[in-house]
Amino acid sequence: MAVKYVAEPFRIKMVEPIKMLTREERIQKIKEADYNLFNLKGSDVYIDLLTDSGTNAMSHHQWAGVMTGDESYAGGSSYYKLLDAATDIFNYGYIQPVHQGRAAEKVLFPLLLTKGKFAISNMFFDTTRAHVILAGARPIDCVVKEAKDPSYRCKFKGNMDIEKMEKIILEKGPENIGLIVMTITNNSAGGQPVSMKNMRETADICKKYNITLDIDAARYAENAYFIKRDEEGYQNTPIKEIIKEMFSYGDMFTMSAKKDTIVNMGGLLGVKDKNDPIILNIKANCISMEGFFTYGGLSGRDLESLAIGLYEGIDENYLKYRSGQMEYLASKLDDEKIAYQAPIGGHGLFVDAKNMFSQIPYNEYPGQVLAVELYIEAGIRTCDIGSYMLGNDPDTNEQLEADFEFTRLAIPRRVYTQSHFDIMAEAIVAISERAHEIKRGYKITWEPPILRHFQASLAPIESNS
């Protein structure tokens, strides 16, 4: 039985019209886009679930902040307002605004990683993985094995496999591990949370071997909500205190503010120790690549709405509503016995396309097959989180096989209503009923060397070939 939808803790005072093309038009549009959903025009999409990044609806307070943002080149008041908010929430000694999450990675990672080094994470997000490789190092994923079985329901499926992590550290030599990255929530594993206990244990190992621990904090507020709901001892702890404790275990954080901070553009980089000599190098990298360190590639108005969004994103009523949307959608799939990464994570539904299209092998990209079908079925734009996104081995250039073949419905914050969720569920059910009729997947006809899924061209493989 579908769970009850948690009503919006806000009302709407501005709307943006959207339209649905006909099925024939959608078939034509996706063909013209070379079957890559990133190539579609936004105006040809009805419900856009490509990402929850930067697609959030700002509040009237944030829009008011846009008008009062201070556009001073150096030392603007919006910068100080952002510092106050971020320091209050994370309690770190140094806060650097940047234009988005990957900019924080670009500024920080080359200071810690070089050729011959390794970086270990519970799971790297795609741009994070790319910045490890661009710095010359090699990324190693180390998520708990439960995460790899989408139908296996347990709490904190995003956790680091601590034993495996220590084994890798000893194998490679602690001096060769440049960085450990804890991604909260674990985006690539389906927005699955990391427990406080797991964070604490990871930090203990980092201290033991003197390795820097970076929190990839894009969805830290959703992660804190899961800890409050599901981890023993935290039911009565305010979200803000959970966040403070979580960050107390890290040395640094890199954050895309386009997610839980509910803005359209922005990022942060934090260093816990205000006397850490790395801060001077962070400022230098930032000045040459992002802009002066008091604006970091953002307008004053962006800094202002980011400062406000930091607080809105950790509001408990908001987090309850947000998580309620996910639960509502997931329960509709449960009713139809459709597999997804379960239990549902914090920012979207990761449908198990390997299960739905068991006849299609990883190198014909089942996650992409479902993504294309969802667009044709209902004008819904999603993306593959599987072998298509993972790409080729940087050393051998062979197609890697991902642990999962997911199609991700990423849910923008405060944007879609209950009826939109019903349309999503109905489309998935309709496709699953005809899934066996689709015999073959896609081949790549052109791809760039890195982060290919954003730009590649694909073509359907004919079923008789």
Ligand X SMILES: *Cc1c(COP(=O)(O)O)cnc(C)c1O
Active site residues: 73, 125-126, 216, 218, 259, 453
Residue with the CB atom nearest ligand X in the bound state: 101
DSSP string, 128-185: HHHHHHHTT-EEEE-B-GGGG-TT---S-TT-B-HHHHHHHHHHH-GGGEEEEEEESS
Rama region for 191: left / alpha / beta (φ>0; ψ in -120 to 50; rest): left
Residue among 101 and 139 whose Cβ is closer to ligand X: 101
Q: Tell me 212's DSSP state.
A: -
Query: Shortest distance, CB of residue 223 to ligand X, whole angstroms?
Result: 11
Report residue 35: phi and psi, to 5°.
55, 25
Residue among 30 and 132 whose Cβ is closer to ligand X: 132
Crossing angle, helix 239-248 and helix 220-230, to 10 degrees?
110
Query: What is the binding site for ligand X (CB under 6 A)?
Result: 53, 100-102, 125, 127-128, 183, 187, 216, 218, 256, 258-259, 267
d(CA 53, CA 309): 14
- Sign of the Cα torsion 31, 35, 38, 44 reads positive
Query: Shortest distance, CB of residue 169 to ligand X, whole angstroms?
Result: 22
Report residue 51: phi and psi, to 5°.
-160, 160
Query: Shortest distance, CB of residue 127 to ligand X, whole angstroms?
Result: 5
Query: Shortest distance, CB of residue 445 to ligand X, whole angstroms?
Result: 26
Residue among 256 and 299 whose Cβ is closer to ligand X: 256
Query: Shortest distance, CB of residue 102 to ligand X, whole angstroms?
Result: 3
Distance set, CA 408 to CA 59, 345, 397 (Å): 26, 11, 25
Q: The tokens of 413 are what?
A: 């914050």
Q: How large is the C-alpha radius of gyration of the chain?
A: 21
Residue among 30 and 371 whose Cβ is closer to ligand X: 371
Residue among 55 and 432 whose Cβ is closer to ligand X: 55
